[in-house]
Amino acid sequence: MPDIIHLLPDSVANQIAAGEVIQRPASAIKELIENAIDADATNIKLIVKEAGKTLIQVIDNGKGMSETDARMSFERHATSKIKTSEDLFKLTTKGFRGEALASIAAIAQVEIKTRTPDKDTGTQIVIEGSELVLQEACSCPIGTSFSIKNLFYNVPARRNFLKSNNIETTHIIQEFLRVAIAHPEIAFSFTHNNNDVYHLEKGNLKQRLVAIFGNNYNQRLVPIEEETTIVKLHGFIGKPEFARKTRGEQYFFINNRYIKNNYLHHAVQKAFDQLLPSDSFPSYFIFMEMNPASIDINIHPTKTEVKFEDEKSVYAILRSAIKQALGKNNIAPTIDFELEASLDFQLRPSNHIVEAPTIKVDTNYNPFKKETENNSNYSYKLKPNQHTISDWEKMVENNLVDTSKNVQIDYQDTEQEEKQVFQLHNKYIVTPIKSGFLIIDQQNAHERVQYEKLTQLIQHNKQLSQQLLFPQTIDFSPENMAVLLEIIPAIKQLGFDISEFGKYTLIIHGIPQQATENNIQNILEDLVEQYKLNKSEIKLSATDILVRSMAKSVSIKSGKKLSTQEMQHLADELFACQMPYSNPSGKPTITTFSSEELDKRFKK
Ligand code: ADP
Ligand code: MG
């Protein structure tokens, strides 16, 4: 038998390695920007065409490379950043594997122009699929300019695997923001298809966050700061009232490197505990500095997963630092979000009868008398029992009592036209039906109702807009503004009278009839978030995504107390829907309990 084992040619080995390091344009961009930071650049420009599929260029003003280094940098395991394995335990650079450039050069057409400060001329190198095409002296500024053209041109399987330009761009923005937030001391710019997406001056962290996410972040951020022997913390958390409905602005950095860590995320979530409505997520930008020897960033090639010693202590420190920050800034745990979101419109009629519960006292009762079988002669009576059923019905009709508190009456016996309803935990509407009883989830149900109504109105061009007395301007982050501009026609259909007003600002002249003036910003931000979240995953039209989001924004929330009439009205509207059994995203609106089920439980 002949021997069959041989070493793979470098180009093939590099292509295989590339599979791990470079999954998509965004990963190549991350590597290039990190190299620029490691080269001490103070200004980094990112230029991208077609979501990075045709061109990625990163231009830095860092220390550049000599001619030999420039050539060497494309070899596998070629790095200037570590020398021995001990160095792995005191990493202060972003890179260290020496794999990125070799990998990128294996799967793209790469051109580099680089010059060190001590030379007048620089070096230009062109490599395609690991093959050197050109190497010569060139004139270029100090620093390095790196272009990648036609990523994956020679790996069609990979290239076909890339997602739509929209999705790839979202990944790019994500990577870009992770480094841009980690390094406010560096100026960054990002141009996509010749449009300026971000232009970030050097500054401090807060200025950087405001530049990225919009002016309104000035009021939203609470600083955190803590120094212990294990970890030094600094950064910002978002005030709870600005929490997002979707996960988004959540950033951890260890030694200025973005990381993901569910365990620490949990610590933050815990610190916010009672302060957040259940379906929202806090924003945070938290920087941890730790001895590099106590963390291990070597466990994943893309290096967002990090292991560290003493996770438990870090968890506790983080949680308490955030609690402290929230406390210092007087963010009391009693904020009523639901009230803020939608004003309570339920007014009590002026002739409301308030009756004190009566207590019958047995005056003959002698507490010192020896106990007899039936000494409990006084009883606490609940209101409904003081009335006959028909008294009660009249009061309900006149809306003089709040049925939500009086669950004892047997509605089945009342031969009322109107369905009896009561509210449970300000969340569910309970109503008897012939075969048992029915529970409606008020929020899910109202979302369904609003969704169908809005769809109808829009289909028939009947959706109205209410003009604002004072037009409002709202600032958005460049990322969200880009999305908004894309969906403005659909937003107008929803009833917004809206136009551009400056680069990242919209002016609102009118809002949908269902909306209220005080939560326009929330509605619009939700629209953007939902659109971003759903546009690529499900095959829905922009309008449909927005109608769903808007239905959600303007609907009654869990936690809102409803009057009897409101409950009856909602139940009627729900059953008039075409699809009453679930909300637009498929969550159930109603559930029923049969009398048999009840009988069984009581062993009847
Ligand atoms: P690593 O960053 O892990 O060392 P890379 O393959 O990313 O590996 O880069 C190889 C080497 O090329 C780096 O160690 C560095 O010396 C050099 N290099 C890469 N990009 C730049 C740049 N923008 N400016 C200066 N030197 C660079
Ligand atoms: Mg690198």
- Give the pLDDT band of residue 436 (cuts 50, 70, 90): confident
The span from the CA of 68 to the CA of 74, in Å, is 11
Taking the centre of ligand 2 as the mean of its atom positions, its distance from the CA of residue 199, in whole angstroms, is 24
Residue 363: per-residue pLDDT: 52
Which of 101, 119, 127 has most ligand 1 atoms within 8 Å of CB, for mutation? 101
- Give the pLDDT band of residue 10 (cuts 50, 70, 90): confident
Query: In this predicted structure, which of 22-26, 168-172, 375-379, 388-392 has the lowest mean pLDDT?
Result: 375-379
Taking the centre of ligand 2 as the mean of its atom positions, its distance from the CA of residue 164, in whole angstroms, is 27
Residues having CB closer than 6 A to ligand 1 are 31, 35-36, 39, 60, 62-65, 73, 78-81, 95-101, 144
The span from the CA of 373 to the CA of 229, in Å, is 68
Query: In this predicted structure, which of 64-73, 99-108, 135-144, 215-224 has the lowest mean pLDDT?
Result: 215-224
What domains does the chain contain, in order, with CATH numbers? Answer: 10-203 (3.30.565.10), 206-328 (3.30.230.10), 373-604 (3.30.1370.100)
Query: CA distances (Å), 302 to each of 19, 237, 295, in order?
Result: 11, 26, 16
Q: From the CB of residue 48, how many other CB atoms can be counted at a distance below 10 Å?
A: 26
- Give the pLDDT band of residue 461 (cuts 50, 70, 90): confident
- Name the residue with the closest Cα to ligand 1, atom 21: 35
Per the prediction, the chain carries an average pLDDT of 80
Residue 536: per-residue pLDDT: 62
Give 510-545 as a DSSP string: EEETTS-GGGHHHHHHHHHHHHHHHTTTS---HHHH
- Name the residue with the closest Cα to ligand 1, atom 27: 35
Ligand at shortest distance from the CA of 102: 1
Q: 155: closest CA among 296, 15, 42? A: 15
* Token couple for 404: 């939500």
Q: Give the helix, strand, coil percentages of the chain, each rounded to 5.
A: 40, 25, 40
Residue 81: per-residue pLDDT: 84
The span from the CA of 3 to the CA of 252, in Å, is 51
Residue 281: per-residue pLDDT: 83
CA–CA–CA angle 384, 389, 393 (5° rounding): 90
Q: Per-residue pLDDT tens for 376-428?
A: 332 222 223 333 333 333 433 444 333 333 323 233 333 445 568 899 999 99
Taking the centre of ligand 1 as the mean of its atom positions, its distance from the CA of residue 21, in whole angstroms, is 14
Question: Are 346 and 562 a contacting pair, CB within 8 Å?
Answer: yes
